[in-house]
A and B are shown apart, each in its own frame.
Chain A
Amino acid sequence: MFRFLVRRVIGALVILLIISAVTFSLYYALPRDPARMACGKVCTPELLAQVRHNLGIADPLPVQYWHWLQGVFVGRDYGGLGNCNAPCLGFSFTNREPVLGTIMDRLPLTISLALGASVFFLIIGVGTGMIAAVKQGRAADKIASSFSLLGSSLQIYFVGYIAMYFLVQQLGLLEQPSYTPFTENPAKWAAGLLLPWLVLSIIFTANYTRMTRSQLVEQLSEDYVRTARAKGMSRRSVFFRFAWRGAMGPIVTIFGIDMGTLIGGAIITESVFSLQGLGRLALTAVDANDLPMLLGVTMVAAGAIVFANIIVDAVYALIDPRIRLA
């Protein structure tokens, strides 16, 4: 297990390295000059060269990348712009601050959004899926399946705006989405995020309902479930101790991927509800041609996905001895 984890972490670091290099190269393939934008209206060639140097974009591409990598591990000094301590993901072209600081400011909101929504969609999705599996082929199953189909065909911007209009503006049932740090006021934190959570979970729930149902139906038709019944185990204990155990793996897998994606930033959701999370940050960075910021957000998002996958694999191994003891 330990060996497995070490090997996977090494692999993950290699993937992140590749992603950073690709993002870097792609950005410089664009015909836009960040130095000219940063230089301002009164820009002499000398000043431009100075800005270039300060931004760290005067050198050839591989050298720039090397400096960026160095920054990640030992920090970096940006001349007149200031100092950036390790781990330094770069220095923003626009707000002239270390990228990581800005990201860390935004991250709590994004994580709150992801975790809160996941509680809703896991409970509702998996619960509905279980009911559908038990009542296979009967009314409850058909209703759950229809709702699941409906949910998966909805879009956040559509549901989001409608929900906001009715639930917040017309009926006043929910608060206007906003973010208050959990440490400051947990009640306000939850109240401000409740609507985005619900809207996000409508979209995700469907997936979990379908997945849970199909996994459980498959597991319940496995030979070992029949054996357990032949041993005299009750339907209930067979369901939870055998079928559910087997169904968990694939559910954990998509959950890991979803969490990774959500922590990387729910761009549409944040935009719809005007929340300042990582997704919005990425959008503004693209708009402003802010490479270090974009690279920083990309790395955090990629890191979240890659490490969520490692956790998924580890959990998988805990569930299934065939993987653990292979």
Chain B
Amino acid sequence: MSNTNPLLDVTGLTKHFPVKGGFPIRRTVGAVQAVDGLDFQVNEGEALGLVGESGCGKSTTGRLITRLLEPTGGKISYRGQDITHAGRKELAPVRSEIQMIFQDPYASLNPRQTVGKIISGPMEINDINPEGGREKRVRELLEIVGLNPEHYNRFPHEFSGGQRQRIGVARALALEPKLIVADEPVSALDVSIQAQVVNLLQKVQQELGIAFVFIAHDLAVVRHFSQRVAVMYLGKIVEIADRDDLYGNPRHPYTKALLSAVPEATVDETPARERIRLQGDVPSPLNPPSGCRFRTRCWKATEKCATEAPPLVQVEGNKPGHLTACHYPETEGTIPAPRLSKDPQAAA
């Protein structure tokens, strides 16, 4: 993060969804704190992975960056331009540079449009006429994503799940974006197909120099794809670092627990990681725990964790750019204290 001019600069990004209730007149009685004060940057051509469990706010973050959702607070700058609350007109040029790839390859393509129409859609909306015409460009794009250009006039239902996701990628590439937000792009695909799409995205990232925000729950896929990784928990980033630092030297207890929970397809006698089993479930973002949000499931939590929210900083022993939000960061090789048998209900 030595780069002083990041492509995307997010500070204090917050999204609260109001909750209605009350009697006799309905009013806002609370808020789901889906995203609560995120700071991160994405540099040009870089892939930032965003991992976390359901309800951590990673998908909301993706939708805030692409401005599909209106932020409640904070600031999003794209190439130095503040787009946090930009209107339709101001946003138009930026929209074409930030594209999105969705999880469900079945629901995100209009079944009544041909592939050609789907992929040229963004060009039509933005009134872009590439040299040689839109059709030629679409055929090029089909070739880039590994589909037959002759399939220009086919409909989505004639393609398999993996091929549909390729169509989604081609559509995202149509406007020559600088940043692609990919929200769980492979998790709906069969295992044998996932690798195909990951390779395609990686090719696109490297050859076309497109920056990625890669949102996924699969830690191995994120590791393979991203240069930097941010781990989210209940609307906050708990740790962000270069890939090798994060996976090799996780400092936040949650990162460590998350990594240890991933089942690996190996049958080695000595497991590579110590086993940490978290108790209970993620608390509700409607009423998150005070202080450190992870404290209700953390084996190290003390009084301090309940009263003081740990800042996301470069804790001692971290390399530059490796930030951890924890009062009691893990040190390499430490064996965690015996887990407290916590009542998961206390958190809810």
Contact = CB atoms under 8 A, between A and B. Distances in A.
Please tell me whether chains A and B touch each other in their complex, using a CB distance cut-off of 8 A.
yes
Nearest to A4: B23
A10 to B, nearest CB: 7
Nearest to A2: B23
Interface in B210-252: none
B21 to A, nearest CB: 10
Contacts of A3: 23-24
A315 B26 CA distance: 22
A322 interface: no
A236 interface: no
A156 to B, nearest CB: 38
A231 interface: no
Contacts, number: 8
A41 interface: no
Contacts of B26: 7
Prevailing SS type, chain B contact patch: loop
Interface string B85-122: 00000000000000000000000000000000000000
A171 interface: no
Nearest to A10: B24
Contacts of B24: 3, 6-7, 10
A6 B24 CA distance: 8
Contacts of B23: 3, 6-7
A194 B41 CA distance: 76
Interface in A1-36: 3, 6-7, 10
Nearest to B25: A7
A10 B23 CA distance: 12
A203 B341 CA distance: 64
Nearest to A3: B23
Nearest to A6: B24
A53 B308 CA distance: 76
Contacts of A7: 23-24, 26
A7 B21 CA distance: 12
Interface in B11-32: 23-24, 26
A3 B24 CA distance: 7
A29 to B, nearest CB: 34
Contacts of A10: 24
A13 to B, nearest CB: 13
A187 B29 CA distance: 57
Nearest to A7: B24
Interface string B19-50: 00001101000000000000000000000000
B19 to A, nearest CB: 11
Given A6-B23, A7-B23, A7-B24, 5 more contacts: A3-B23, A3-B24, A6-B24, A7-B26, A10-B24
8 contacts: A3-B23, A3-B24, A6-B23, A6-B24, A7-B23, A7-B24, A7-B26, A10-B24
The 3 closest A-B pairs by CB, nearest first: A3-B23, A7-B24, A6-B24
